[in-house]
A and B are shown apart, each in its own frame.
Chain A
């Protein structure tokens, strides 16, 4: 599903967004006047120390949370003041999610989980979409697992199911918040390679939070956050460069 906007316009955008948690003296600024555009068809990595605001940034861009100040757009849609139902429909139709854990509905098998966004929308996938989902399931190695339920799958397999679900509707943008945080490094890399492939080969726009420099090195763009601000925004970089920058950030802190 594509918005009519030209290809150079960002797929998601924040304009001087601030987000405060708590009230009164306990207020924590999780985001501090952040402006950012996620480009169409790119794989964007978001990095930064724990508590720097990465998840908050992603939640606001995805319509899961609303900014205290500033505005957020998804394509041409200003989502800042959308009501609950509009936001829900937007998430359902235009956004895909991969969370760190608990991605799957325990009562549904693999097929049910992958088809969940269609089911929520009350429609069956078109033949074209079915073929795409078949391709995804095959390339993610889930073909012979379709009847299994989440507790019968390994952590890596569960994350792959979540990826298949997130890509299945060909959403405008896929958000992945530390999708490999619960996996060992090899399994984690495999899962990330799949996301990178989706971006490169199918032009899927993806924004992913990660702590892993090697994972971030496969991204087209790397954004660094610290204390709720963007402190660096660079094009594809080597894992060494990314590690070096992270270390320098830690020293500065």
Chain B
């Protein structure tokens, strides 16, 4: 198997629990060649933890000197467009963390650059690789549930620590950052929605929780609930339910723990697995990065960004937002 050289830009929380471990598991496919982060402390800690010696505080230097096949970008959202374009324009395949970009224009520019340069571009919609969600999609396609009528998705957590999340201009809040996972999944599972309406709680101008309802072509309606409003003792939780004319499915992360650990006054609960979604989504990028067919085309992911932006518009007082079909070319 041809090993592709990978550089990681942004060595924060997500890279520590998702991309770093995934690259270590995928040694047969990828050589974890170099890392970049503007913060030297973060960079050095990550370098030590994952044993990657080639490290850069300037990602541009890494791109020019390391002869990479792939760059994974896991930086704050407002930097996605600039870094993404730099990566693609230097002929490197791009794995971009979600949300794709802060604006539709930013996402469009990256798609154009990838097409112009003939390089692969995949957005980190990891839920499409999450086993329970994948199984629901399979059973739905199989006709097990009949026609979809009602879907519900919760994604409940605490406020992420990095300060840029707190700036509405940089993160756009919980709608763009968190609800986008379930918006993307619902598009995959059910199709394109006709309308969206959202309400939520704001801290200043920052959306901290969002409750949204959507109407789809056909008879399906859906509810999405994303929150950063839970206290620090809360354990991140997801819930999904699909009701169809012939059957239903429900899953709740709080009910699917496979390992609980108790040490002194702290405890943890998880469902560890070798082939977790982060590993599967990076493995799925190997073929497209070698010129193969995209598993998750960026032209599809931009529609989820468009939907998240429509949700945000409603959340910010626009009321019911009707969605035009085929807006994104």
Indicate whether A and B interact: no
B contacts, CB < 8 Å to A: none
* A interface residues with partner B (beta carbon < 8 Å): none
